[in-house]
A and B are shown apart, each in its own frame.
Chain A
């Protein structure tokens, strides 16, 4: 544990991660010119997540640190996902009751058979 606190990240790690981030940026720009339909969004987000993970792990030191800080960060993302998804259960599924058809009126209820 003591070594974690005093860990000094080697220079090549910072420069290497920086280079990878720039390459990923170029890739994500390039991919956006090709039409993958709805997958464009997925690919763009996936690349962004990889970039974000690199920044968090190496620039923000989460890879080397006590796991508590990673937990704090992950929890924030988790609740953001909860916010977006539960809200979209509403916004994407409006108006459905208008489509419901009532049962035709029958002479007898079907309960008794």
Chain B
């Protein structure tokens, strides 16, 4: 919000150029490495995965705890970097600036390295849990789709994260020992850094979205009171996204100086990555068709997701077209695109999941009225902030600039107002959610009348998740066969 405040008018309002650079770098690094990548798997997945599978815990509970401590340890490094001079390279740490910058790049990238382990351990844990700890009767195609989402995410986590690990090691060696891998004067290649960096960071964006998509499957089915349409298609598309995501990283590098052959290949492959996502959107809409839809807060978040993620995903395809990207690269169009998918997509899904499982976690309901007000503010504010930025981008406004020509000011101003509206929405959310923990009315086991296994146990769950070992008696979306009773009124 401070970034948007600075950008409301051109020129220096209260930040110098250097300070602005530090702000957007830290915004990116913290949001990506400390929030979006870990949030859904760590906050919701850890609790809900074993419950959905009918397991007492994840496969390696102590590794899970280690993953948490490592996260804190990594976060400490990031914090140290902030207070010892910050970082101003952009969250992407491109060479040659990142090898020469006098800011705390080494500390921050060490933090990234450590956080990578946290992510890897979570992914490893989830893979083994899903393979080995499903309850009797739960075959692969009787698992809820949130589990499929977490599984695909975990696969990406273990395959991609080691590469960012080696990337930051090489960057640190370059800074500290001058090995020259990215330095042209020493026969090195700065573009090679980008290959290494994006080999992880592109699949990383699918680490961000896949769990969210899993949540959307759960919410849409539950609140349409209808069996999910195209279960296998959605399950397989999660794996499809995981696989294809590793083939397209060069689309971040169209203007970097990579060979034209590589650029063309990556552009071609990029078009494929949108297909599985599209399949999901169609299946979700088909699920709602002729469903008995109710509009509680989680459903409102899911509907927001459908709209916002579609826009985000579609604009991603625009950017994947090589000739178009040459004009739009590093403009506000890109900023708008990724905020639509990361915030309009993942964050909306995360908030939907939070509101869906909040009663399970605390055993209490939040105020539906205030929750709806919050959704409305966030939705409206978000679109005000970021749709405007698509327009700014096509008009040529570059990203990561603290200053700009006067002609862009009205759009920037409008965008900034939107950001503050979103802020109000989040503040209201914090208040009613925390209030609900203490004063919300009791939720019972199954306030939503849903059929996945986590709703069979008490809210909050029993210390070993279940009183006795559950056995599968029905599929996760058998709304056509079973009427599940809601435990509130």
Contacts and interface: CB of A to CB of B under 8 A. Distances in A.
A–B proximity contact (CB within 8 A): yes
Nearest to B160: A79
Contacts of A87: 192, 195, 199
Nearest to B189: A91
Given A96-B259, A96-B261, A90 B246 contact: no
B214 to A, nearest CB: 21
B247 A90 contact: no
Given A89-B259, A89-B262, A93-B261, A83 B192 contact: no
A68 B195 CA distance: 30
Contact of B250 (A75, A79, A86): A86
A97 interface: yes
Given A86-B247, A91-B192, A97 B260 contact: yes
B294 interface: no
A68 B257 CA distance: 41
Given A76-B159, A90-B195, A82 B262 contact: no
A87 B159 CA distance: 17
Contacts of B259: 89-96
A91 B259 CA distance: 7
Contacts of B66: none
Contacts of A86: 247, 249-250, 262, 265-266
Contacts of A94: 257-259
Contact of B247 (A75, A82, A91, A93): A82
Interface of B, helix, strand, loop or mixed by DSSP: helix
Contacts of B195: 87, 90
B317 interface: no
Nearest to B127: A72
A79 B246 CA distance: 8
Contacts of A92: 259
B191 interface: yes
A93 B199 contact: no
B163 interface: yes
A90 B199 contact: no
Interface in B147-193: 159, 163, 189, 191-192
Given A79-B246, A82-B247, A83-B199, A89 B261 contact: yes
B163 A90 contact: no
A87 B131 CA distance: 33
A9 to B, nearest CB: 24
A86 B259 CA distance: 11
Contacts of A91: 189, 192, 259
Interface of A: 68, 75-76, 79, 82-83, 86-87, 89-97
6 closest A-B pairs by CB: A90-B262, A93-B259, A90-B258, A89-B262, A93-B261, A87-B195
18 contacts: A75-B159, A79-B159, A82-B246, A83-B163, A83-B199, A86-B247, A86-B262, A86-B266, A89-B259, A89-B262, A90-B259, A90-B262, A91-B189, A92-B259, A93-B261, A94-B257, A95-B259, A96-B260
